[in-house]
Homo-oligomer: A and B are copies of this chain.
Amino acid sequence: MLVGKRSWKFQNTPAITATGVTGGPFEAKSPLKDDFDLLYDDLRMGEKSYEKAHRLLLEEATQIALEKAGIQKEDVHMMIAGDLINQITPTSFAARNLEIPYLGIFGACSTSMEGLALASFFVNYGGAGSIITGASSHNAAVERQFRYPTEYGGQKPPTAQWTVTGAGVGLIQPRDTVQGDAVVTTSATIGKVKDYGLKDPFNMGGAMAPAASDTIVGHFQDLGINPSAYDAIITGDLGKIGRETLLDLLQKEGYAVPEEQLQDCGLKIYDETMPVQSGASGAGCSATVLYGHLMNKLRSGELRKILLVATGALLSPISFQQKESIPCIAHAVSIELDDGKGGSGL
């Protein structure tokens, strides 16, 4: 149901009943490594190209989620996913191999929450009984396409971010599929494209912060709530610099979000010993951190209600060469533990 200008409330609170999270060798050194289901020690993962490895990450994450839920791929009604690669081929090739009806989406690094918002809406209204949704990225495939092949050894400024090699997916099903506790989605806010004229592809976090602010403020206004409704507001991949900018922007909008309440997946997945400049990025960043680490915190009750705000930079190498600025977007989904001990009042 539409609430306000661009938010949905999910009265039937669809559940994230199973998840699958895969990663590469760099992610195996992550402080969140225990939240991954499968970590490859080879960046090629036995495939002939990085793009094929990218496809494998998503395919395996999906298979893992289906195994955990004990359902066959033939019984999944839909797969809603995307990635950063031209024509999202890694995702489409995974959908070919999985043989699940497929809706391809593109929101760059906001893809994870675009997918979860759509999947939640469909399940909420009986449009599907089981949907796989998620996103993925592969460092070497993305770097080659958007910047330089890693082998060139190009230098990066401190504002640059490290593209995550990984895939995260969730299986979305009606709340009554599971008895007892469940992690559910309760609302979503669809982003507008925001562009403050930044043109530096090595400072995505700074470019994306206004889109995150716009969506978060829109979410509060549409639902008539304020930041205290959430244990944490967690952005996708703003990194250090983008997060600082977002704190400022929210303050100017009249929402003084406490430092510790505003978190970022891109700052969680790697620690200070890892040479990632301003933090992590990539469509797989928010997807792996949500469906791995954050889902575990939600399942345990350590977190009870979060707003996940995935941010995406909608540029292409061609638009950059044509001297266009970087249009950005953010989609938000609120996710909470439903354990009968008091929820959000929905």
Q: Is there an interface contact between A92 and B327, defined as CB atoms closer than 8 Å?
A: yes
Q: Is there an interface contact between A101 and B192, defined as CB atoms closer than 8 Å?
A: yes
B-facing residues in A268-327 (Cβ within 8 Å): 314-319, 322, 324, 327
Instruction: Tell me the minimal C-beta distance from A141 to chain B in angstroms.
Output: 9
Instruction: Tell me the minimal C-beta distance from A313 to chain B in angstroms.
Output: 9
Q: Is there an interface contact between A316 and B101, defined as CB atoms closer than 8 Å?
A: no
* Chain A: number of interface residues, binned into ranges: 35 or more
In the bound assembly, the distance between CA atoms of A194 and B257 in angstroms comes to: 48
Chain B neighbourhood of A82, CB < 8 A: 106
In the bound assembly, the distance between CA atoms of A229 and B95 in angstroms comes to: 30
Whether A87 touches B86, Cβ cut-off 8 Å, given contacts A6-B101, A77-B5, A77-B6, is yes
Q: Is there an interface contact between B51 and A319, defined as CB atoms closer than 8 Å?
A: yes
Whether A6 touches B78, Cβ cut-off 8 Å, given contacts A93-B324, A102-B190, A102-B191, is yes
Q: Is there an interface contact between A314 and B89, defined as CB atoms closer than 8 Å?
A: yes
In the bound assembly, the distance between CA atoms of A82 and B114 in angstroms comes to: 14
Q: Is there an interface contact between A103 and B114, defined as CB atoms closer than 8 Å?
A: yes
In the bound assembly, the distance between CA atoms of A87 and B2 in angstroms comes to: 28
In the bound assembly, the distance between CA atoms of A129 and B6 in angstroms comes to: 10
* Among candidates B78, B92, B105, B319, residue contacting A89 with C-beta atoms closer than 8 Å: B319
Chain B residue at smallest Cβ distance from A194: B96
Q: A149 at interface (Cβ–Cβ under 8 A)? A: no
Q: A248 at interface (Cβ–Cβ under 8 A)? A: no
Q: A85 at interface (Cβ–Cβ under 8 A)? A: yes
Q: A121 at interface (Cβ–Cβ under 8 A)? A: yes
Q: Is there an interface contact between A104 and B106, defined as CB atoms closer than 8 Å?
A: yes
B-facing residues in A51-107 (Cβ within 8 Å): 51-52, 77-78, 82, 84-89, 92-93, 95-96, 99-107
